[in-house]
Structure 1
Amino acid sequence: MLRASIWTTRLAGLGVLGVLIFLHPVAVPGGAATQQAAFAGLFLGEVLLALAEANRLPEPADRIMRPAALMLVIATGCLGATASGDGSYMIIFAITAIQAAVADLGLTLALTVAASGMLASEAGGIVFNQGVGTCLGFPLLLVVGMMLGRSRADYRIRAEQAAALLAQHEQLRAEQRRADVLDERARLAREIHDVLAHSLGALGIQIQMARALITDRGDTAAALTALEAAQRMATEGLVEARRAVHALRSDTLPLHEELARLVPCEIVGEPRPVPPDATVALIRITQESLVNAAKHAPEAEVEVRLAYTDGGVRLVIANDLPVGAAAASPLRTIDGGYGLTGMRERLELLRGTLEAGPVAGRWLVAADLPLPVSVPAQA
């Protein structure tokens, strides 16, 4: 729209100039005919340039026609302006054309086009006995036009580079958003795996055990016990699923604050920002350990200790074992060890480690998680 307005204004100005030239011819001998012929060439060149700007010319013709049209406008504009009178305004179109030549054409073509205008102005100045001001002033105006065209070309190059950088930035942002979506999907997959896969797997084992007790041994009492355990697993799995959904739908607080919401916790060292996935992993370990302590040692006091070190964080959950359990085989979670296995797998994805077992009459769960030197602040 802007380009069309510019060309409409140029053609309108050219029409006004033509009226002045034809209605008020100069008195210099041969000047009127020269200006009228120069105006015809100028008008033809401007029309060809307008068609080229509007992409109305075939591609092979455009490569030849655009330089030729610019040369025609510059040469005829300079020649017609040397005859003085109202035709002197033709130099304005020549200066505009030289700007476009420098901005759009290569250096060789631009210099060739500029040379044609300088030669035309010098020839016209000699023919029409013009002074030094015309013979030197018109070429100087063409040089100024070339400088303006160079500035225009530099501005266009910077604009194109800025547009390319903006497009690259938008592409990087789109890739970053895609990576964030994939990371979120991976986190959801881990949550679903930890909450459902392990629970359903253990539930299937208990049901299979109950079936075997009935069909192979006919032990109804033991089968009922296994079914009761399966029912507890289903209930606990549902509770854990609700916890996972709540965690996914809400932002995580700093790790020590999340732990304080679950259980009294001893904090050692200066609290540091911990990534959300690491926070969720350590919270899950704490929840699993508290549930196991309530099942296996309901009367025992549970101690939770969170230590911030230079290399990361260490979470320790400990509780006294029931009498006689210290020398027994290592305790397992209610689902046959799947809970701690899931937590261990989650920590391995974060390059962490998990240890669980009896130590000096106590059941100890220790999670070590390395942290980078600089961790982005949490929401």
Structure 2
Amino acid sequence: MLRTVSWLMRAGAYVFIGLHTFTDPPAGAGAVTLAIVTYALGGLALLWWELTHALGDEAARRAPRMRILLGAAAALSGYASAFPHAGALIGLSLIAVMHLGTELSLPLGWAVAGCTVVALETGVLVAGASRGFAVGYPMLVALVLVAGHNRRAYRIRAEQSAAMLAQSELLRAEQ
């Protein structure tokens, strides 16, 4: 049930990001094309992640191509979100960073978050975004990464508790 609710929330966020981004298209030379490519890449990464998770294909989720796709989606979304009227695209970065921080290795999550912040700050310089944007969005990326790590720790503790309970029940049944 929780998995379904989580999936629905991510799908709803993806649709909301698209509606917010494309009802008032980004401004600047090539910004619309960049937004379309970013949105499509983010959608592909999220769809691939969800399909591999639904199929239980752990090897595919941990494959380098999945990590590269999520990392590229996070960084490109961070860069594109700095352009006027494209700020909602940061949501794709946050979703990807949350996935990497929750499901995969901790150093990888930090590396992708760092690359996302560098791409975001590069976008700020290119697009001439405000100082608040340059400070606020990187803090948001770091906050989401920490939340992902906390979620991961909670999930691991829950799995360990379930395994210990099952082992205890097995020992009790043997006695």
Which bin holds the TM-score, normalised by the shorter protein?
0.7 to 0.9
Encode CA deviations 1:47-99: one digit per residue, 9 max, x unaligned.
Answer: 221222223768357522331232133112212221132x3122223223212
Distance 1:77 1:36 in 2: 10
Deviation at 1:173, TM superposition (A): 0.9
Residues 23, 56 of structure 1: CA spacing in aligned structure 2 closer, same or farther, 3 A cutoff? farther
Write out per-residue CA displacement over residues 233-281 of structure 1, whole angstroms, 9 at most, x where no aligned residue. Answer: xxxxxxxxxxxxxxxxxxxxxxxxxxxxxxxxxxxxxxxxxxxxxxxxx
Decide whether aligned partners of structure 1 residues 107 and 25 sit closer, same or farther in structure 2, where only a CA change above 3 A counts. Answer: same
Q: Within 5 Å, which residues of 2 pair with 1:1-379? A: 1-55=1-55, 59=59, 62-85=62-85, 87-176=86-175
Q: Equivalents in 1 of 2:168, 2:106: separation in Å?
A: 32
Contact 1:79 1:124 in 2 (8 A): yes
Q: State whether residues 52 and 66 of structure 1, in contact with CA within 8 Å, keep that contact through their aligned partners in structure 2.
A: no
Unaligned runs of 5+ in 2: none
- How far apart, CA to CA, are the structure 1 residues paired with 2:61 and 2:155? 24
Q: Which has the higher contact order (CA 8 A, sep 6+)?
A: 2
Amino acid at match of 1:172: L
1:152 is displaced (CA, Å) by 0.7
Partner of 1:264 in structure 2? none
Distance 1:172 1:56, change over 3 A: closer
Residue 80 of structure 2 contacts residue 89 of structure 2 at CA under 8 Å; is this kept in 1?
yes
**After superposition, what is the alpha-carbon deviation per residue over 1:185-239, rounded to whole angstroms, capped at 9, x for unaligned?**
xxxxxxxxxxxxxxxxxxxxxxxxxxxxxxxxxxxxxxxxxxxxxxxxxxxxxxx
Paired positions, count: 175
Contact 2:20 2:88 in 1 (8 A): no
In the alignment, is the contact (CA less than 8 A) between 1:48 and 1:69 conserved in 2? no
CA distance in structure 2 between the partners assigned to 1:61 and 1:156 by the alignment: 17
RMSD: 2.3
Normalising by structure 2, what TM-score?
0.85
Distance 2:107 2:16 in 1: 34
AA in 2 matched with 1:35: A
| Aligned-partner Cα distance in 2 for 1:83–1:156 | 36
Q: Structure 2 counterpart of 1:84, which letter?
A: P
Is the alpha carbon distance of 1:114 and 1:25 closer, same or farther for their aligned partners in structure 2, counting shifts above 3 Å? same
Deviations 1:130-185 (A, max 9, x none): 12222222211111111101111110121112112201210121122xxxxxxxxx
Contact kept, 8 Å, 2:113 with 2:141, in 1: the verdict is yes
Which structure 1 residue ranges, 5 or more long, are not aligned? 177-379
TM score, norm. by length of structure 1: 0.42
Measure, in 2, the Cα distance between the counterparts of 1:18 and 1:84. 15
* Higher helix proportion (structure 1 or 2): 2
CA contact (8 A) 2:53 2:61 kept: no
Cα distance in 2, alignment partners of residues 20 and 145 from structure 1: 21
Q: Percent identity?
A: 29
Runs of 4+ that moved beyond 4 A = none
CA separation in 2, counterparts of 1:133 and 1:56?
41
